[in-house]
Amino acid sequence: MSTPDLFSSEPAPAERAADLRAQLNHHAHRYYTLDAPEIPDAEYDRLFRELQALEAAHPELLTPDSPTQRVGGTVLDAFTPVRHAVPMLSINTETDTEPTGASNFDTRVRRALGLTDADPPVEYVAELKFDGLAMSLRYESGVLVQGATRGDGEVGEDVTHNVRTIKQIPLRLPVAAPDVLEVRGEVYLRRDDFESLNEKQRAKIAAGVKGEKTFVNPRNAAAGAVRQLDSAIAAQRPLSFFAYGLGEITPEQRGGPVFETHYELLMQLKAWGFPVAEQTSVCRGADELIAFHQRIGASRDLLPYDIDGVVYKVNSLALQRQLGFVTREPRWAVAHKYPAQEQLTTVLAIDVQVGRTGKLTPVAKLAPVFVGGVTVTNATLHNEDEARRKDVRLGDTVIVRRAGDVIPEVVAVLPEKRQGGAEVFTMPHQCPVCGSAAVREAGEVDYRCSGGLYCSAQRKQAILHFAQRRAVEVEGLGDKLVEQLVDSGAVNTLPDLYRLGFSALASLDRMADKSAQNIVGALEKSKQTTLPRFLFGLGIRHVGEATAKDLARHFGQLDRIMDASVEQLLEVNDVGPVVAQSIRTFFDQPHNREVVEQLRACGVHWEEGEPATPALKPLAGKTFVLTGTFPTLSRDQARDRLEAAGAKVAGSVSKKTDYVVAGAEAGSKLEKAQDLGVAVIDEAAMLALLQG
């Protein structure tokens, strides 16, 4: 660093750079957060250019929290996973979209707290539910060091390079803060900024720039910007931020603040320089929550950004701790959405789509219409019965609804606008993708393609199911690799997996030689399996692990199962008419039989034998449900032991449940068992039952 001239009145470069950073941070906060600028834009730009020039002349003065670092320019190869010190949990959604939904939440809270009508109202904080992307910002010694997406709540992605471009997010906190501070909030795009962004995109498209497109809605544009590997692209999108909570914070004994209420916490966030929505209010009792819901609903379209509801949180942090969580969702908070938005449009065609699990869904192709924050061109008709009930036909004028991220649907037809001659919709009885039979089982509303091992629409799902740990198990064969293998054309059916060589795998993007060799080894290892695992891995509808084990024990050999009549299948323990017909339909498809034979030819094998002699099992006919974490057994181990003893292990509690085995952190299943009067036991009692 150069030595300052002692006889000059000019400040040293380091002093001037520090002063410029302080001025620019101050004015950015006034402009972007407080909406109260003190200087013209031209003056801000002059100060910014001066700092840029100073840092260019003296690179040693450049700091990570400099305002010049918001312009982007960093290009990453991939995102780094970030494990949240405090999980970013989801909030339960109130299903009643009317104002009474607020009363429902207040009633649940009061009941959980043991309050009576004589007790005073509970105090809440009511906030807006922003339609953006959840974000966690980590500050250390007042400096932003990391921005991470929510991800699955436990692990997100490091997007610090893009978060730095958001001008409402302070790079350095303007006031004293704890040593470690994680601020939770929402990254979003204002409606006017979204329209300006799309205008620029349309201009690029008109100019013939390749690869450009307009954005569907503000949320997708914001999410796409946050997840750019090139921060220069993110910097071109005018993202905004609202803070609404905290994650990790320095403990009290090391200088961290102590909050008694959620509202106090929000006001501290504001003091630290973060934008907090001005509509945030403290409400006492259900009546004030209802008033807030109605007030925001009436002004929703006037807001400069999209929201899809409001959020209520118990204000007292002590009461929040008392209420706790259920199924990893806080009992002390709820998201209360507004009724769906609807628009009129025209049906241009009715197509049938095949889902990853083989479900056939009629889809109305629509004249583009803007509804619920997006331009809608497709709307689900759900199934043939629903399409017939609504009587949706080609050319009809229909009402389309979209709520939040829910798939748009046709609500109703305006028959008075129908043109003559439109035919009634009929579901095809063959899969439109692979030509296999499309079957509709008794008591069900959906048609399904029966060519599960052959149908290209189900290819990825079939491979992932086959390769999962409790089926044939191909270690390392996860979603992203399957996507690459299928999309590249390297794998079309299950047997193609076993025809893959090292070269084919190593040539895939981001596939190192060691990883490719590991997959080759895992595929070879998976060839040695068991008949129950293989049967389960085929993905036959209604054939879960327990049924696969029963089939293997009863028949002993795969060929006997493949050739068994419905009557013979009905002799198997717990196999009823629906399951028997599903098995028969699956093996009646030549495509499926061909895939099975090819898998055998590729070396997939298992031990076979004579049918097992039926034996009396201690827990035969009993139904168990598992919930929570057990002291010595995993859920899978407990399930295996119960099934080996003849019990059925169900996923939900009903009046037919005999026992609920509850461990630590048991959730809603335990509550339902208690409500229904179902016997609740612990792991020790379960082991005692297994011993007879």
- When mean pLDDT is compared across 419-433, 446-460, 521-535, 608-622, the lowest value belongs to 608-622
230 vs 226: CA distance, rounded Å: 10
Instruction: Name the residue with tokens 């609804």.
Output: 401
Cα-Cα-Cα-Cα torsion 580, 586, 590, 591, nearest 10 degrees, comes to: -170
Half-sphere exposure of 635 (CA within 13 A, CB side): 15
Q: At 403, phi and psi to the nearest 5?
A: -125, 120
For 61: left if phi > 0, alpha if psi spans -120 to 50, otherwise beta; the answer is alpha
Which residues, 6 or more positions from 591, have their beta carbon under 8 angstroms from its beta carbon? Answer: 434, 436, 451, 453, 454, 455
Return the CATH class of domain 341-417.
mainly beta
Taking 60 as the threshold, does the pLDDT of residue 216 lie above it? yes
- Mapped onto helix, strand or coil, the DSSP state of residue 158 is strand
Residue 255 or 289, more confident: 289
Confidence grade of residue 525 (pLDDT, cut at 50, 70, 90): very high
pLDDT of 2 reads 44
Instruction: Give the closest residue to 245 by CA, choosing from 378, 400, 90, 380.
Output: 90
Q: Are 344 and 369 a contacting pair, CB within 8 Å?
A: yes
Q: Are 470 and 635 a contacting pair, CB within 8 Å?
A: no
Confidence grade of residue 171 (pLDDT, cut at 50, 70, 90): very high
Q: Active-site residue numbers? A: 129
Residue 648 or 152, more confident: 648
Taking 70 as the threshold, does the pLDDT of residue 265 lie above it? yes
Residue 208 or 544, more confident: 544
Taking 70 as the threshold, does the pLDDT of residue 608 lie above it? yes
Confidence grade of residue 526 (pLDDT, cut at 50, 70, 90): very high
pLDDT of 254 reads 44
Domain ranges for the chain, please list them: 13-71, 123-337, 341-417, 435-614, 623-690
Taking 90 as the threshold, does the pLDDT of residue 195 lie above it? no
**Strand blocks (E) in 113-215:** 123-130, 133-140, 143-149, 155-157, 180-188
The residue-averaged pLDDT of 651-661 equals 93
Q: Which two tokens stand for residue 570?
A: 């009905």
333 vs 218: CA distance, rounded Å: 26
549-599, pLDDT tens digit by residue? 999 999 999 999 999 999 999 988 878 888 999 999 999 989 899 999 999
Same fold, 13-71 and 123-337: no
Taking 70 as the threshold, does the pLDDT of residue 247 lie above it? yes
% pLDDT > 70, the chain: 92
User: Which CATH number is correct for 123-337, 3.30.470.30, 3.30.1120.10, 3.30.70.940, 3.50.50.60?
Assistant: 3.30.470.30
335-345, pLDDT tens digit by residue? 998 876 778 89
pLDDT of 72 reads 43
Instruction: Provide the pairing of β-strand 679-681 with 659-662.
Output: parallel
Query: Mean pLDDT score of the chain, rounded to an integer?
Result: 87
Single-letter residue type at 547: T
Which fold would CATH assign to domain 435-614? DNA polymerase; domain 1 (1.10.150)
Question: Model's pTM, two decimal places?
Answer: 0.48
Q: Write the CA distances from 21 to 53, 74, 174, integer angstroms.
A: 13, 21, 11
For domain 623-690, is the CATH number 3.40.50.10190?
Answer: yes
pLDDT of 357 reads 81
Give the CATH architecture of domain 13-71: Orthogonal Bundle (1.10)
427-471, pLDDT tens digit by residue? 999 999 999 899 988 778 899 998 888 888 888 889 999 999 999
The residue-averaged pLDDT of 32-47 equals 66
Sign for the pseudo-dihedral over CA of 364, 366, 370, 373: positive
Range picked from 141-150, 506-515, 572-581 for highest mean pLDDT: 141-150
The residue-averaged pLDDT of 533-555 equals 92
Instruction: Give the closest residue to 221 by CA, choosing from 191, 185, 183.
Output: 191
361 vs 365: CA distance, rounded Å: 12
